[in-house]
Amino acid sequence: MVRDLRLHDHEYFFSCFRMSPSTFEELLSFVAPNIKKESTVMRDPIGPSERLALTLRYLVTGDAQRTIAASYRISPSSITRILSETCNALWVSLLNLKFIDPPSTEAQWREIAAEFESKWNFPHALGAIDGKHVVMQAPHNSGSEYFNYKKTHSIVLLAVCNARYEFLLVDIGDSGRQSDGSVYNNSHLGHAIEHNLLNIPQPEKINPDSLKLYPFVFVADDAFGLKPHMMKPYPNQNLPIDQRIFNYRLSRARRVIENTFGIATSRFRVFRRPIIAKTEKVKSITKAVVALHNYLMKRRIQNYENNYNYCPTSYADRDTRLGLTLGDWRKEHGNTAGLQQISQMGSNNYSRDAKEVRDDFKTYFCSAEGSLEWQLLRVTRDRA
């Protein structure tokens, strides 16, 4: 049936695998060397194309592995092995091909910040950051190692995305047992950011006429702590107008990571329920979804003119001067019991330097050079 769909029904093929047949063939060429098995005297092995197809079908639907086995007429034990091998191959192949390409130089970070300013009007933004619990069945003999405060078992997915809804940096696999407040501080990603291991540029002027130097920052929500390199909104209600303007501008940029997670989990519905698999396999599945999302986001331009676009214009939120239009992914999102928000990843205490940086950005957003012509209308109308 899959062969027939590839030849005659591209629309249904896209709904089954989240990509066009031509994109599937390209992806197959990337991963086939890593999943191809040699023939034996007893029988011919399952081919790379079928291995990739059933893995994508599992990630897209989140169906039980026994259901996938029945659909492809393959034993459940073989399905389990194939899913693990193919998910690992997807991650390794797409990582090597730079579809996941963490910035390593100051010039690359400046390019990311320039695109954030161009698209989302937040200067010196290096990316939007957020974290999720990936819920799974209780691992055998694990005790409370992965048992989180929401009374589920999970691993942690911490991610930074760029202005185009692509994952830049990910930290996958920390134990869900640790409190939400320590998730960021105990992660490899948090350690790299806090100890300046990412070659982030030093503070610079936003434009030649600026008098102040502004640090490069990550934009986050209330779950994170306020730091000189981590911006979060002003808390509480009944805020003065300048703080509401800052919160609007921050929310406009921070919503990118919300859309990145939303697009990935609506297209790959394996996260709609707890994943029934061993811990290492859950990590492999999460890595595969991250890699596939980036691959399909980078390839969506070549499919822009047809109906097989992984993320068409209307799929993500659109925040314009006229207001916020919610993206189509929210209509398809449904239940995401397998992916839970991390509620607190930092202390509410902050340094004077962090407060000054946030206040400096607030002042800039309310100045003649940094304001948007519609921002005052948006914050006053939204409040009304």
Closest CA to 234 of 247, 253, 225: 247
Q: How far is CA 233 from CA 3, 115, 361, in A?
A: 51, 21, 11
Question: CA-CA distance, 344 to 223, in Å (whole number)?
Answer: 4
Predicted TM-score of the model (pTM): 0.93
Hey, what's the torsion of the CAs at 179, 183, 184, 190, to 10 degrees? 140
Residue found by looking up tokens 């290096």 in the block? 126
Q: Tell me the CA distances in angstroms from 232 to 12, 226, 248, 341, one per residue in order.
A: 42, 6, 11, 16
Assign 77 to helix, strand or coil: helix
157 burial type by CB count under 10 A (0-12 exposed, 13-18 middle, 19+ buried): buried
Q: Does residue 25 contact residue 10 with C-beta atoms inside 8 Å?
A: no
* Cα distance between residue 178 and residue 185, in whole Å: 11
Cα–Cα distance for residue pair 249/323, rounded to 1 Å: 13
Instruction: Walk along the chain (384 residues) and give the pLDDT tens digit of each residue.
Output: 777 777 777 888 898 999 989 899 999 999 999 999 887 656 778 899 999 999 999 999 999 888 998 888 899 899 999 999 999 999 999 999 999 999 999 999 999 999 999 999 999 999 999 999 999 998 887 777 888 877 889 999 999 999 999 999 999 988 877 766 678 888 899 999 999 999 999 999 998 877 889 999 999 998 898 999 999 999 988 899 999 999 999 999 999 999 999 999 999 999 999 999 999 999 999 999 999 999 999 988 665 545 578 998 889 999 888 888 999 998 877 667 788 888 777 667 888 999 999 999 999 999 999 999 999 998 987 565
- Residue among 289, 339, 290 at smallest CA distance from 56: 289
Q: What is the DSSP letter of 227?
A: B
